[in-house]
Structure formats: C-alpha cells, structure tokens
Amino acid sequence: MLPVDLPDTVRDALLAPLVDHHCHGVRRDDLARAQFELLISGGGSPAPPGTTHFDTPFGASLRRWCAPLLDLEPHTPPAVYLARRAELGAAEVNRRLLAGAGVVAFLVDTAPSDTASPNTAPSNNVPSNNVPSNTAPSDAADEPALLSAAEMGRHGGAAADELVRIEQIERDVAASAQLAVDYLDDLGEELTVRAARAVGLKTVMARLCGLDLEPTRPSRGSVIAAANRRLDEPGEPPTDPILLRHLLWCAIDVARERGLPLQFHSGFGGAGAGRADPAGLSELIKTLQPIGVPVILLHCYPYHRQAAHLAGLYPNVYVDVGLAVPHTAGASAVVVDELLTLAPFHKQLFSSGCQGVAEAAYLGALSYRRALGTALAARLGAGEWSATDAARVAHMIGAGNARRIYRL
Amino acid sequence: MLPVDLPDTVRDALLAPLVDHHCHGVRRDDLARAQFELLISGGGSPAPPGTTHFDTPFGASLRRWCAPLLDLEPHTPPAVYLARRAELGAAEVNRRLLAGAGVVAFLVDTAPSDTASPNTAPSNNVPSNNVPSNTAPSDAADEPALLSAAEMGRHGGAAADELVRIEQIERDVAASAQLAVDYLDDLGEELTVRAARAVGLKTVMARLCGLDLEPTRPSRGSVIAAANRRLDEPGEPPTDPILLRHLLWCAIDVARERGLPLQFHSGFGGAGAGRADPAGLSELIKTLQPIGVPVILLHCYPYHRQAAHLAGLYPNVYVDVGLAVPHTAGASAVVVDELLTLAPFHKQLFSSGCQGVAEAAYLGALSYRRALGTALAARLGAGEWSATDAARVAHMIGAGNARRIYRL
Amino acid sequence: MLPVDLPDTVRDALLAPLVDHHCHGVRRDDLARAQFELLISGGGSPAPPGTTHFDTPFGASLRRWCAPLLDLEPHTPPAVYLARRAELGAAEVNRRLLAGAGVVAFLVDTAPSDTASPNTAPSNNVPSNNVPSNTAPSDAADEPALLSAAEMGRHGGAAADELVRIEQIERDVAASAQLAVDYLDDLGEELTVRAARAVGLKTVMARLCGLDLEPTRPSRGSVIAAANRRLDEPGEPPTDPILLRHLLWCAIDVARERGLPLQFHSGFGGAGAGRADPAGLSELIKTLQPIGVPVILLHCYPYHRQAAHLAGLYPNVYVDVGLAVPHTAGASAVVVDELLTLAPFHKQLFSSGCQGVAEAAYLGALSYRRALGTALAARLGAGEWSATDAARVAHMIGAGNARRIYRL
C-alpha cells in the first residue's frame, strides 16, 4: 500500500492510528444503487442519463480498494460491488470499512445531512424524486438515518467526539422560537449548551452565503430585523448574511469562552464555488487572531494552496484537504504534497470528511497514507529531509496536531 | 510518442480518432514571420523587442513535433521552420498538420477571428501596424482568411460541424438593424436560423464582460435602452453587460429548444483574467440545471481545477482544457492529470481550441494523447486502475462523450 | 545538487551567476531564537505555543542546506544551528550565505522592513513584545538594522543596485509635509530624485489595499482631500485607496520618463490574500501597455499560474516566483515548473525575495537551481527540448532577462 522505499520508522508513523478530526455519520441502512450513487457524488445530483457516478476518481478508487474488504477482487464492477454490499448488510460493511480505516478517534459533525449537499441546500424541505429522504428533522425521526458519533466510534473501534454544526443549532432555534428576542436568546444558550459536550464548532457558511462575508459583528437592530424575517420560514437553512454573521459571532464568543476551534467548510462541495475560497476569510482571520480562536479550514480543494498560504501567514489558521483526498483518489498525492509544500507541519491535519458511506472514511485514511507516503518518499529520495523528521511530521499531521488543538 | 509501458488496449484507445469538439478555422494564406508569431502567441501582441514568441512552451513544442511533419529535424530553428512552411505552401502544410491530428470530426467556431484576441477585442476596427488584418467583417471579404468548417474537415480527412458564436450573430444583427425593436427581433431569429445548422452554441463573454455576470434575464426595458445605445456603434464587439446577458438568455432559449450545448470560453486567453474564472458561472449553472442546457467550459486554465470541481458538482457541466494543452505543451501532462484528478470521466472532453495555425490542431491532439497516456500510465503503474477502465476512459474523453453530448 | 542526468552545457548554465532582481537587506546583528523564528516565518507572528517555525518547508530546507555552510551536518537540530550561527557571528554568516548564493548582482529594496510583514503592517509603530524592533524610521537610527544595497553586494561578492519602494517614499513625505499641496509636490519630487539612482520601482500595494484597485488616475480634488486626512497620521503606512492610486500613478509617470520597470509584490505574504491575486491587475496592465512601463509580478504563489498566464497575454508583464521558491523549498520544482509551463521564457526572472536573514538568499538561489534543473531534465528526458535550448533558457531566466529589462 505504501511506497516500497520508505524507512521502517516512516512506515510505522504512516500506519499509526489517525485522528479523523472531521467526518459525518454514515448511513445505517442498506442502500439501493441510485441512493448509493448520490452519496458518492460530489454534488448530490444523479449522473446524466447513460452515465454513472462510479466513473469518477472516487468510484474507481472505491472499486479498487474497498472491494477487497468486501472479499471481492480489485476493480470489481459496480453491480457486483453493490450486490456484495447488500449481501453483507450495511452494519457489517460499516464495521469493516470504519475499522479498516485505522482511526483512533472520530470527531463527528452530527447534523443531519440535509444541509450538506450544495444542490439541495436552499430547498431541502422539498422532497426530490431522486434524493434519498434523510432530510427529516433530527428530533422527528425514530431512528436517524446516520450513525451517531458514539456509533461511529463503536463500529470503528475508536473514540468519538462531537462537533457542533452551528447552522443546525440555528435551525432548531428558528423552528421553536416565537419572537425575535427569544430567537436571539435561545441561539446563544443553545450554542453554549451544545458546545459544552463538543470538542469543536463547525460552520458551512461557505455553502450558504460564501466566505467573503463582512468580518464584523452586525448591529443588534439589523439582527432583530433579520430574525423577524427568519421566523417566517424557520424550516429552511439560514441564508441571510446578517443572520449568518450574527450566528458566526455567537459561535466565536462560545469558542473563545470554551477554548474550542472553529471549523470552516471551504472549497470542495461549496455551492457558490468561487465564494468558497478560504482566501475570502482573510479579514475575519485577522480579526480572530487576538481573540485566540483557532480557524480550521476543511477540504479547501481547489483552493488548498491558498489555504496552505493562510496557514503559513496566520498563527491561528489550520488546514486539511479532507474529503478532497478520497475524491481525488489515486491522484491525491499531488494534493497532499501541495499542502506539505507550504503549510507549516504543525498546522496540517488529517480528516476523511466522510459523509453518508463508510467507503469515504476508509478511502480517506488509505489515500491519505498513500499520498503522504509518496510525498515523504520524494523528500527522502531527494535528500531534503531526514527519516527522523519525516516520521515526526507523519505523527504530527496524522494525530498529534489534532490532539493538541482539540485537547483530546 | 506514448509512454512505453502502456498495455495495447490503452495504447489503441489513445491512438483512436478524436472528436475535436472546439476549434477555429486556420489561415489559408502563407504567413510572414510577424503574422505567424502573433498567431502562436497567447495574447495577440508582438513579443517585446529582442524576443520571440517561439521562446514559449508552444514555440518549443512546435519546433519539436511539427518540424518532422514538414520533413525537418526536431528542434529546428524558427527561421528554418518558417522557410520550409513557405516552401510547401499553406494548403499543403494545413493538410499535413490537420490530417496528422488524427481527428474524426471537427466542431468549428466559424466566427472571423477578430473577436478572438484579448488585446484587440475592445477596438478591433482600428487597424494596428502589427496585427495582420483579418478583421474585416465576414460579409465584406471575397475570400475569408480562415478555412471554413467544411474545408477544415476536407483538409483533415474528417467530418465537420459548426458552432455558432453568439457574439458574432449579435454583431451582424447590430450592423444591419435600424431600430432597437428590430435588433431584438432579428437577434432571436438569426440565432434560431443559425442554430438550426449547428451542433452547439458558443460564447466569449469571458473576454467581453467576465463570467461573473448576473445570472438572470434582464428586463425588456433595460435591454431596449441598451440596444439603442448599441446601435450607435454597431461595428464594435458588444460590451454592455445588459445586452450580453440578453444575448446569453436568447442563446439559452435556443439551446433549450434545439437540445444544443452552450460552450463558454473560460480562463485561458480571457482578457479580464480573474473574471474569466469559470467559478463565476456557478449561479448561472444552477439556474440552467433544471432547464437542461449543458454548459461546456472551454480551456479553463489556470482555473481548470475549479472547472473540474464544477463538473463534479453539477450534472449539466462539462469541461476541457482545450488550447491550454498545446500551449502548456510538454508540461500538459500535469494539466490533463489535474482534470482527471477530480472531474467525472463522463464530463471531460478533448479539443484543440486551434486558432489561426494548423500547428495548434496537430499539437493539441498530439500533446493530449501524450498527456493522457502519461496520466493513465501513472494510474496503472500504481495499481489504481485496471487497463480495461483506462482504455474505456480514453475512448470516452477522446470521442465518446462528445458524440453523446453533441449527438454526432 | 543538480539532477545527475543533465548535459554539461545545461549544468553550466544552471550554475552560472544569477541576477537576484529583487531582495531586501538582511539583518546585520546576531539574532536570538525568537527573532530568528519570526524572520523565517511567512507571516511575522510567533508560532503557536509548543510549535516552531522550523517545522516548515523553509525550516527543513534551512537545516538541510545551510547547515553545511556553517560547518554542520545536514538536518542539524535548530538549537545546534542557531548556536553555531551565534558562534560565527552575523557578519561571517552573512558573508558565507550571500557569497554561497552565486549571485552576480543584487537588486535591493532598501525600505526598512517595517512595512514588509502582513501582520505588523497596519500598526507598525506600536512596538510588540514579540517582534524585534527594526521598525525605527531609517533616518533616526544610527546604524540601520539591515544591510544596505552596497553591503549586500560587498558581502555577496556581487554588484548591487537599488529598487525604490514607493510606499516608503510616501511615508517619508507624509512625515515631513505640513500641507496637502506640499505633500503632493514633495511626493513627485522625491520619487524623481530617488528613481534617478535606482534601477526599478516597487510597490507593496497588494498588502496595503489589494491589487484589484481602480486602474485610473484619481481626480486632483479627491487626492487633496485624501492627503489632508493622511497628514493627520503620517507615521502609519498609507492605506487610503485614493492616495495609493495617486502614488501609483506618480510612480508610473516616473517609470515612464526614466524607462524603469515597476515591480508589484503579489500573492505570497500579501495580507489580503485573495486581493493579492495578480489577475486583479489585468485592467491596469492593459492601461500601461501603450505607456510602455514593464510590470513585474513578484512571488505570485499561490497565484503563479495566473501570473504566468498574464505574462503570456500581455507584452509588458514579467514574472518570478521569488520568495515562494525558498519557502516551498524541496517542492519548489513544482512551482518553478508551473511557471515554465506557460510563461514565455523571455518573461521569467529569478529572485530570492530574501528578507531579514541571508539563509533566504542562499536557499532561494539553491532551490531555484535545483528546481529549474529538475524541470529541464524532465523536458530533455521526454525529448521535448534540445540541450541547446535548455541551456539558453536557463541563461535567460537566471540573468539575461533581468539584464535586458533593468538595463544592467
């Protein structure tokens, strides 16, 4: 699996258990092909007629590397793979893949997946014929479609902690509050309560309004006006930039009080594309620097070089390439190398960004190990790094940095 | 020409005839060195004193790979190359290079080249001392300077179809209409007529106003006001964003009715540089998704990673690296690999983007085959893909996807 | 040091003396670890608790390649390196590293370093506990902390010339002028006087207000109003976009009169991140094209592909990857290759961008030679280029282009 010419210490460091510092729960139920295809796509829409989402780097990688864990030959056809997956059942498949990832701790964004897909974001309450219905509010479902954080840990033989998706808190509050003042009070309280049992906060603002937002706290008057508008359509994800800025600053207050990092989804999967460039966060990052809240940039591709640049410029910025690793699959070595090219080693993190299917958790960890192994082998081969440094950096990125930042 | 370690099936797939789904006609006349240099440059301006456009990746590649087709040694000096080119004559050179490309069908943007160069775009009617005068309106020239679609096909031993450049239609209409209402009527009619014999529409909005335009249909009142202003200077390319949005939506209507794809020039060669980033199209793409009009992103470099990301996110987006392939020449393997890194395989297309000189058509095809061969060899060597899949993907990108999308 | 399989002519060309067309003076005094760490960081802030700026690509490269010049083993620990550095003394270390760079001429931005760091830029007059105090106005210090241009040359066994940082001129003028009209007159005069003994002008507008500024000359009325505001806080770096545009156009006038190039810091280290993308300069570049002022884009990473694209589009644009080379260190081959992938060979330049410590000058030159060697070896190995061309291009980028543009 790893490059053959690595010293043993480096190999051991690469194979050491990882902290997956950002993932989502995977589906607990058996999936029809149409459902499975949606979950392995980047955008959450069906492939055009006559095509399949298996014809993607992720699909090819899945057939290559996950098939053997299901007792199949590498490069097995999609239909065979899915038949075997159904035969084993979702629970067994999840166990094999999550345990196979070699992860020691999962940090899990436990929001239901409805706000996760760029194509379904603005109108997630309108059921689509093609999209599997996992969009029910979490408090309404008897058995949620996704594994909880604790279940992710149990299936994967790992510890598990929670990340609070702040936009989900907002939706819960918007659904129950009657008056704008209640909404505002509840938001702060609920964030505080939820943060008390979490290791970090997370925002998907990149998808809802872009990252290039005004980096200041909005006025109370403008927030109350926005909250009144908001209470008219509480079931939708929030999209008002004023309300989102208010939410963000509430989260910053809580993060500062509790010493929690704040994760920003950026790049990959962000619907507004260009507006998901983390460079748009520069002014906010500078504002947060004296406040001491770590900003963690997730996924970042295709803006990961900008993210690596930010991580070098600002002491409070951390970075991963998350879900871009399993999605760039066999070519993720380039992506991981580009992060290692500029970002300080103490600022880089591993995550799978896994969502919906356990294949992403397994492929995230596998591709990351292969990619970092390739990048380190190149540096060792050129005489640029010592083996001691290479092993140390592998430990830092794979687990050490996450332990320090999240105080695990 | 191809990597030595490819399986025969993959090699055969790479050498199979290509569909060049976007190119321009090449010059039919013999070219002086100054003219030739302008046509092989990226920007259409002469090189600074004491320098030459042969000192570019494209120039080096041309001397390496085109020289043998003209019976010269590889790496032949520019003067020798051009002397031999003159000796053979443009017709023979065009035949050798176009036939050498191994293309089964050319889809040709038949607009005269005057709107094609970023440096000449805003004032193309003012003759420059340095720029060869191929800017005459197409209806005025007895024998157009560029080969027609049919001639491109004949010279290249291939089929040929037309792409309608919508801004050219607009110019023709602006030149003949007297009143704003006529202009609006004529625009719709002319687009419909021209689209009837075309396989796709194309816009160069990236060059004229940027791709980050408002994604909605402008009001009729604002369009009529803009049309009145427009009729005062009909010879210029259109630059008014309202008029261009109107034109775009007329084209979208026609594309939807006739089931035609809409090509967007993006990135490479776009004068407004940053504004040519296809990520700026995100909102429009989302708007067009339910309408069902395929959006095809051309060239894209240096924003091809963003383009690949869009192709993965949205079911109606397709992508190529077109003219960036011959222009990045020996290093195009990286560019092609970066597309293959994220874009679904059923969303990628081949084009040469060839313009002005047949060298670009030949080098586009040659560099593409070498680049894809290198990318596939890497995936096969790492055990990531099977040879069967590699051959299948090569067929899809080289011709199959274009046949499906353009219904060839 | 270079790839083993290079022909002798190419190897000789790579080892030939370089023109470092953009650097800063290095510190003349012995540096404590905290000071040294700040100077090798990208952003000028201390590393987070428990981490070190040695854990960066630059830090790893420094330990690998600079240690032997200080008679130490490669990969020596930071503490050992710094102890040996102190033992030898700053003067001897500067001599070894600057001479080791193999540079024939340094072009030196002689502004004091206070405006150079993104994190200290807006409030550089407020002393920080962590930042070494080299922020004294240059006219007030008995012995400036940084080597002068002449001293850089003397230590490095090279010629040396000056670059005028236009924002520094502005600060000097703002500090002495009493009235807005004096300020405006003095600005023009001082620029003219300082330009008379310089080989180029330089702006750090990317850091102060972003590169996407309005490309036109501001009205005299608006400038006078801005100047009046400015005179209230003359010690700060200028940040008013109107004033900066005025300053820029004054510089353009001087550059045109004296035939000097105008360097734009872009990308790397620019605080506003996204706003430091050189693509934002497109409109200004088009405006300057007929005026004939060469625009030189410095650093550029992570926007170097956009910069290479601009260099191909516009005859007046030149490009380097400057400080990004030592900072991407062992992986700089990719960065240099990406420039060589698209930028005309007569438009590319070498610089170290060195600032504060002589290690950057040495590593800039060393990494550049290794990187270009790797890029050329790949092209030769693939049969894309001839050895003659490779050697010629190495000479052009390493020194020839700079000699032509700066008339050295």
| pLDDT tens digits, C72-104 | 999 999 999 999 999 999 999 999 999 999 999
Instruction: Please state the three-class secondary structure of A295-313 as a single string.
Output: EEEEECCCCHHHHHHHHHH
B42/C312 touch (CB, cutoff 8 Å), yes or no: yes
How many other C-beta atoms can be found within 10 angstroms of the C-beta atom of residue C178?
8
Tell me the DSSP string of B77-117: -HHHHHHHHHHH-HHHHHHHHHHHT-EEEEEEE-S-GGGS-
Radius of gyration of chain B (CA): 21
How many other C-beta atoms can be found within 10 angstroms of the C-beta atom of residue A228?
12
Q: Please, which chains are in contact with C (at least 3 CB pairs closer than 8 A)? A: A, B
State residue B300 phi and psi, 5-degree precision. Answer: 70, -40
Quick one: average pLDDT of A282-290?
92
B55/C345 touch (CB, cutoff 8 Å), yes or no: yes
What is the distance in angstroms between the CA of the first residue and the CA of the last residue of chain B? 29
Token pair recorded at residue C81: 């390196």
- Please give the helix or strand (H or E) that residue B406 lies within, else none: helix B401-406
| pLDDT tens digits, A11-58 | 999 999 999 999 999 999 999 999 999 999 988 899 999 999 999 999
C273/A310 touch (CB, cutoff 8 Å), yes or no: yes
**Whole domain around residue B176: which residue ranges?**
8-406
All residues of chain A having their beta carbon less than 8 Å from the beta carbon of residue B286 are 119, 271
- In C138-285, DSSP assigns E strands to 159-165, 198-203, 262-266
Higher pLDDT, A283 or B143: A283
d(CA B65, CA B168): 34
| pLDDT tens digits, C364-406 | 999 999 999 999 999 999 999 999 999 999 999 999 999 999 9
Within a domain: B395: yes
% of chain B beyond a pLDDT of 90 = 84
Within a domain: C2: no
Residue B140 makes CB contacts below 8 A (sequence gap 6+) with none
Q: Which of C16, C23, C207 is nearest to C119 (CA)?
A: C207
All residues of chain C having their beta carbon less than 8 Å from the beta carbon of residue B52 are 346
| pLDDT tens digits, A345-403 | 999 999 999 999 999 999 999 999 999 999 999 999 999 999 999 999 999 999 999 99
Burial of B79 per CB tally in 10 Å (0-12, 13-18, 19+): exposed
Token pair recorded at residue C387: 């050895």
Predicted pLDDT at B143: 57
- Torsion angle of the four alpha carbons C156, C161, C162, C163, in this order, in degrees rounded to the nearest 10: -100
Chain A residue with the nearest C-alpha to that of B303: A302
Predicted pLDDT at A357: 97
All residues of chain C having their beta carbon less than 8 Å from the beta carbon of residue B50 are 346, 404
Query: How many structural domains comprise chain B?
Result: 1
Within a domain: B180: yes
Give the three-state DSSP class for A269: coil
Provide the mean pLDDT of chain C.
Answer: 91
Radius of gyration of chain C (CA): 21
- Please give the helix or strand (H or E) that residue B167 lies within, else none: helix B166-176
Of the residues B64, B128, B367, the best mutation for testing chain C's interface (the one with the most C CB atoms within 10 Å of its CB) is B64
% of chain A beyond a pLDDT of 70 = 91
d(CA C197, CA C108): 12
Predicted pLDDT at A219: 96
Question: Does residue C116 carry a pLDDT above 70?
Answer: no
Question: Does residue C119 carry a pLDDT above 60?
Answer: no
Tell me the DSSP string of B172-205: HHHHH--SHHHHHHHHHHHHHHHHTTEEEEEE-H
Residue A319 makes CB contacts below 8 A (sequence gap 6+) with A296, A297, A300, A304, A307, A308, A310, A311, A339, A343, A347, A348, A349
Quick one: average pLDDT of A205-226?
92
Choose the weakest-confidence range: C128-132, C206-210, C342-346, C348-352.
C128-132
| pLDDT tens digits, B270-329 | 666 568 999 999 999 999 999 989 999 999 999 999 999 999 999 999 999 999 999 999
d(CA B105, CA B93): 19
Within a domain: A184: yes
Question: Does residue C191 carry a pLDDT above 70?
Answer: yes
Higher pLDDT, A275 or C205: C205
Question: Taking an 8 Å Cβ-Cβ cutoff, which residues of chain A contact chain B?
Answer: 41-43, 45-48, 50-53, 55-57, 60-61, 64, 74-75, 118-119, 267-269, 271-275, 301-302, 324, 327-331, 334-335
Q: Which of C367, B385, B311, B341 is nearest to A333 (CA)?
A: B341
| pLDDT tens digits, B356-403 | 999 999 999 999 999 999 999 999 999 999 999 999 999 999 999 999
Give the three-state DSSP class for C55: coil
Predicted pLDDT at C274: 66
For tokens 């292969």, the residue is: A370
Q: Which of A407, A349, A352 is nearest to A58 (CA)?
A: A352
Of the residues A211, A299, A328, A336, the best mutation for testing chain B's interface (the one with the most B CB atoms within 10 Å of its CB) is A328
How many other C-beta atoms can be found within 10 angstroms of the C-beta atom of residue A60?
22
Instruction: Give me the residue from C272, C324, C335 closest to A282, CB to CB.
Output: C272
Instruction: Give me the residue from C48, C61, C327 closest to A342, CB to CB.
Output: C327
State residue C4 phi and psi, 5-degree precision. Answer: -75, -20
Question: Does residue B121 carry a pLDDT above 60?
Answer: no
Predicted pLDDT at B271: 60
Radius of gyration of chain A (CA): 21
d(CA B327, CA A223): 51
d(CA B236, CA C373): 47
**Chain C: closest CA distance from residue A214 (Å):** 14
Higher pLDDT, C114 or C249: C249
Quick one: average pLDDT of C270-278?
75
Tell me the DSSP string of B203-243: E-HHHHT-S----SPPPHHHHHHHHHHHTTSTTSPP--HHH
Beta bridge partners of C161: C107
Beta bridge partners of C259: none
User: Which 8-state DSSP code applies to residue B276?
Assistant: G
Within a domain: B1: no
Question: Taking an 8 Å Cβ-Cβ cutoff, which residues of chain A contact chain C?
Answer: 212, 277, 279-280, 282-283, 286, 289, 305-306, 308-310, 312-316, 337-338, 340-342, 344-346, 378-379, 382-386, 388-389, 393, 396, 404
d(CA C332, CA A359): 34
pLDDT class for B136, splitting at 50, 70, 90?
very low
State residue B299 phi and psi, 5-degree precision. Answer: 70, -70
**Which pairs from C77-82 meet CB under 8 Å and 24+ separation?**
C78/C33, C78/C52, C78/C54, C79/C33, C82/C33, C82/C36
Q: What share of chain C is helix, strand, coil (3-state, %, to 5)?
A: 55, 10, 35
All residues of chain C having their beta carbon less than 8 Å from the beta carbon of residue B275 are 282
Quick one: average pLDDT of C274-284?
89
Predicted pLDDT at C317: 97
Predicted pLDDT at B272: 60
Q: Which of A319, A330, A300 is nearest to A57 (CA)?
A: A330
pLDDT class for A269, splitting at 50, 70, 90?
confident
All residues of chain B having their beta carbon less than 8 Å from the beta carbon of residue A334 are 337-338, 341
Tell me the DSSP string of C59-115: HHHIIIIIGGGGT--TT--HHHHHHHHHHH-HHHHHHHHHHHT-EEEEEEE-S-GGG
Within a domain: A3: no
C385/B302 touch (CB, cutoff 8 Å), yes or no: no
d(CA C394, CA C12): 9
Predicted pLDDT at A270: 67
Of the residues B385, B393, B397, the best mutation for testing chain A's interface (the one with the most A CB atoms within 10 Å of its CB) is B385
Question: Does residue C134 carry a pLDDT above 90?
Answer: no
State residue C138 phi and psi, 5-degree precision. Answer: -60, -30
Higher pLDDT, C275 or B382: B382
How many other C-beta atoms can be found within 10 angstroms of the C-beta atom of residue C407?
11
Chain A residue with the nearest C-alpha to that of B316: A48
Within a domain: B2: no
CATH number of the domain within which C17 lies: 3.20.20.140
Within a domain: B264: yes
Chain A residue with the nearest C-alpha to that of B388: A75
Predicted pLDDT at B211: 92
Instruction: Give me the residue from A279, A308, A396 closest to C274, CB to CB.
Output: A279
Instruction: Give me the residue from A46, A50, A274 closest to B404, CB to CB.
Output: A50
C45/A345 touch (CB, cutoff 8 Å), yes or no: no
d(CA B21, CA B199): 10
- Asked if residue B27 lies in contact with residue B134, where contact means CB atoms within 8 angstroms, the answer is yes
Question: Does residue C355 carry a pLDDT above 80?
Answer: yes
Chain B residue with the nearest C-alpha to that of C387: B75
State residue A147 phi and psi, 5-degree precision. Answer: -60, 140
Of the residues C306, C319, C348, C403, the best mutation for testing chain B's interface (the one with the most B CB atoms within 10 Å of its CB) is C306
Of the residues C275, C277, C310, C384, the best mutation for testing chain B's interface (the one with the most B CB atoms within 10 Å of its CB) is C384
Instruction: Give me the residue from B42, B55, B331 closest to C346, CB to CB.
Output: B55
pLDDT class for A128, splitting at 50, 70, 90?
very low
Number of H helices, E strands in chain A: 18, 7
pTM: 0.94
Predicted pLDDT at C329: 93
All residues of chain A having their beta carbon less than 8 Å from the beta carbon of residue C334 are 337-338, 341
Question: Does residue B140 carry a pLDDT above 90?
Answer: no
d(CA A60, CA B396): 15
Provide the mean pLDDT of chain B.
Answer: 91
Quick one: average pLDDT of C202-230?
93
Size of interface A-B (CB pairs under 8 A): 104
CA neighbours closer than 13 Å in the CB half-sphere of residue A133 = 7
d(CA B17, CA B6): 18
